[in-house]
Every structure is written in C-alpha cells, then in structure tokens.
Amino acid sequence: MLSFLPSYSSASVLLLIALFILGIIFLSFGSNTLLKGGKKFAQILAMKEYTIGLTLVALSTSMPEFFVSIKAATSGLPSIAFTNVVGSNIFNTMFIYALLLLFLKGKTKVNLWNLLALTVLSSVLVFYVFLGTIPRYLGIILLSLLPVYVWMQLRIKDPLQMPQGQELPPSQLAQDQLAQGQSSEVHKAHVQTQTQVQTTPLKKLLICLRSLFYMGLGTMLLYLGSELFLNSSLELGARIGISQRILGLVVISIGTGLPELFVTLATLFSILMAKHKGTAGSSFTELGEGNLLGSNIINILLIVGCSAILNPIHSLALLRTDILMLLLSNVALFVLLSKRKSKQHVLGILLLIVYAGYLVFLFHNN
C-alpha cells in the first residue's frame, strides 16, 4: 500500500471512488506515455503500422492488465489476475473489436494467422481451466513463447496477405497510389519514413534517451495506477457485495481495458478524418486491429504466464462458462472472417448483443 494514503478499509466510499477513478487515469496515462516512448524506437526502425499494433501498441495497452494482475498475484489473489485476463480478452473481442467490425463495415484487414494463434492459446486455457488449475510449468511455457511471438511479428514484412503473396516496395506502393489519384499524403508519409531511417547517430541517441524517459515515467504511472485501482476496487466490491469473479471479469477487466478502447476510438476517428480529407486510412485500420489481436495474445503469454509462475492459479471451476465464452468468440471470428463475403458489420452487431447478454448473465448469477 502507498504510505501516504489512508487504509483502504477505513476510507469512505467517496474516497474509494476517487481513488478508483484516479487509478484508471494513471493506468491510461501510463500506458499512453509508455507507448509514446516506444513509438520513438519504432520510428527509427521504420516498423509497419500493423507490426507496431501487434507488438509495441499491444504491449503498451496490456501494461495496465499486467501491473494489476501481478499486483493481485503477489497479494495472494491469483484468481483475480486470471479473471482479469479472461475478462479483458472478452471485452477486447466482443466489445472493442466489435466496434471496429461495426463501423468499418467490411474494411478491416484481418490477419487470420494471429487470430488462429489466439484461438489455440484460448483452447489451451480452456483445457487447464477444466482441469481446475493453471500450473507453474504452463506459466513458464507461455512466458517463453512471448519473445518468439514478438520476434516472429518483427520478421514478417507484411502480415496481411496480398493477392499473389508478393509485396510491393514502399516506393512503388507510393507511386501506384499516387497514380491512382489517392493523395500526395502517401508520398509524404513515405518520404518522412525515409528521413526517419536516415537520421544521424546523435539524433538517434537523443531519441532513445527521450524514449527511455517516457517509458520510465509511464512505468511509474502504471505502478501507482495498479496500486490505487486494484485496492480501491477490491474494497468497493466487498462493501457493495460484488463477488471477486465479477469484479475481475467485468469491473477490473474493463478498467484495465480502457487503453485498448481509447486506441480503437482514436483509430475510428482517424479513419473518419482520413475519409473526410479524401486520403486512405488503411494504416489506422491495421494499427487498431493489430493492437487488439496482439493485446489478447500478450495478455495470455505475458500476464497468465507471469501470474502462474509467481502463484499457481487454482479453484477455476466457476470460470468454465467464461473461458468457453472467450473461446467461442475467437472461433466465431476466425470462421466467419475467413470467408471473403462475410458481412463484418453484422458480426460486430452480434458480438455486441452476445456481450450484453453475457453481462446480464454474470450479474444475475452474482
């Protein structure tokens, strides 16, 4: 507990609510600051938007879940850590991803390989939840797969399949888009990327130092936010009479899932602005879609992995319905989005309806 704060058990409800909101603010600003620092490195490396979404943005937006879950695991509450991951992935898939499908109306570029990987990982969690425990060795395996996943994403030149399996060079792509009369903004972006790659060593060093500062500040905000958010939500839940299962699956997961929601809303806003200006907004789509898939994968590999290593997770019988809901949503996305003529906006509406029904089911059975 932070020494300058009063005991959570003796705090008033208004103070607990204030600490709860302050924790969410710290978590959101912390992940955003961490992302701001990391993007500087991405500019030097000239990473693709989709790769940034699957790795850098996903890691940054998963940090609230990570800090809150690790805090819960080290506090003797590993079940909170696991329900936070399950609830966050359900929220990301059935609410945030559904918004992308709904408002983009079939223009999302889906990477089925990453969606398949997410479905396989969810299936593994289903198996162990039905066994009743997440053992330490599974946590070690999951965590060891994280650097492999990041390395594979960095190795992929274009994770979105092209018609003939070939990728146009950036310069040729820009020329083709200019020839088609799309916008000179594409050419400007390409020139800007080339300039970023050719920066001097001194400028690169300054960018790295600035990045480290932002990343350190973001980490500190995330730590403070996780402390405030977790303890205040646990105390509020105990006073209101909300079970730890619902607390982890809904309250904590949505609270820590706000960065993903903010990134998606920013993505939708950027796409609308791009359409208004008559420019292509595909890179924004790739960033948002890559962030959601990458965040869900990292939640399992990093957070479940670390939580199980620190404190093996037991007594998971009550989560069987929830983990099946997560798996079914991933399977539905994979099956339906693999069809070229699938109506993505209809799938988005269905996901939102099912998620609303799921929330009603949870609170009805509290």
Burial call 301-337: b when 16+ CB within 10 Å, e when fewer: bbbbbbbbbbbbbeebeebeebbebbbebbebbeebb
For residues 119 and 131, what is the distance between their CA atoms, to the nearest angstrom? 19
Half-sphere exposure of 274 (CA within 13 A, CB side): 19
- Asked if residues 58 and 297 have their Cβ atoms less than 8 Å apart, the reply is yes
**Predicted local distance difference test score (pLDDT) of residue 267:** 66
Q: Is 111 exposed, middle or buried (0-12, 13-18, 19+ CB in 10 A)?
A: buried
**pLDDT tens digit string along 40-90?**
766 666 666 556 656 666 777 778 888 888 888 888 888 888 898 999 899
Mean pLDDT of 348-365: 89
Mean pLDDT of 287-309: 82
Checking if the pLDDT of 305 tops 80, the result is yes
Confidence of residue 275 (pLDDT cuts 50, 70, 90): low
Confidence of residue 128 (pLDDT cuts 50, 70, 90): very high
Checking if the pLDDT of 288 tops 60, the result is no
- The CB density around residue 356, as the number of other CB atoms within 10 Å, is 12
For residues 83 and 253, what is the distance between their CA atoms, to the nearest angstrom? 8
For residues 224 and 190, what is the distance between their CA atoms, to the nearest angstrom? 39
**Predicted local distance difference test score (pLDDT) of residue 300:** 93
**pLDDT tens digit string along 156-213?**
654 444 333 444 444 444 444 444 444 344 344 444 444 444 567 777 778 778 877 8
Which residues, other chains included, contact 183 with Cβ-Cβ below 8 Å and sequence gap of 6+?
Answer: 177, 277, 278, 279, 280
Q: Which DSSP string do the residues of 129-156 spell out, in sequence order?
A: HHHTEE-HHHHHHHHHHHHHHHHHHHH-
Confidence of residue 137 (pLDDT cuts 50, 70, 90): very high
For residues 164 and 158, what is the distance between their CA atoms, to the nearest angstrom? 13
**Predicted local distance difference test score (pLDDT) of residue 37:** 73
What does pLDDT average to over the chain?
76
Share of the chain above pLDDT 70, in %: 70
Confidence of residue 125 (pLDDT cuts 50, 70, 90): very high
Instruction: Pick the more confident residue, 105 or 134.
Output: 134
**Predicted local distance difference test score (pLDDT) of residue 28:** 80
**pLDDT tens digit string along 11-51?**
888 988 999 999 888 888 887 787 777 767 666 666 665 56
Checking if the pLDDT of 109 tops 90, the result is no
**pLDDT tens digit string along 318-350?**
889 999 999 998 888 887 777 656 677 888 889
Q: Which residue segments constitute the domains of the chain, with CATH numbers given?
A: 10-157+171-364 (1.20.1420.30)
Going 31 to 32 to 36 to 39, the CA torsion angle's sign is positive
Q: Which two tokens stand for residue 273?
A: 């602005």
Rounded to a whole number, what is the largest CA-CA distance in the chain?
Answer: 68
Number of alpha helices (DSSP H) and beta strands (DSSP E) in the chain: 17, 2
Q: Nearest-CA neighbor of 313 among 109, 142, 192, 95?
A: 142
Confidence of residue 260 (pLDDT cuts 50, 70, 90): confident
For residues 242 and 128, what is the distance between their CA atoms, to the nearest angstrom? 26
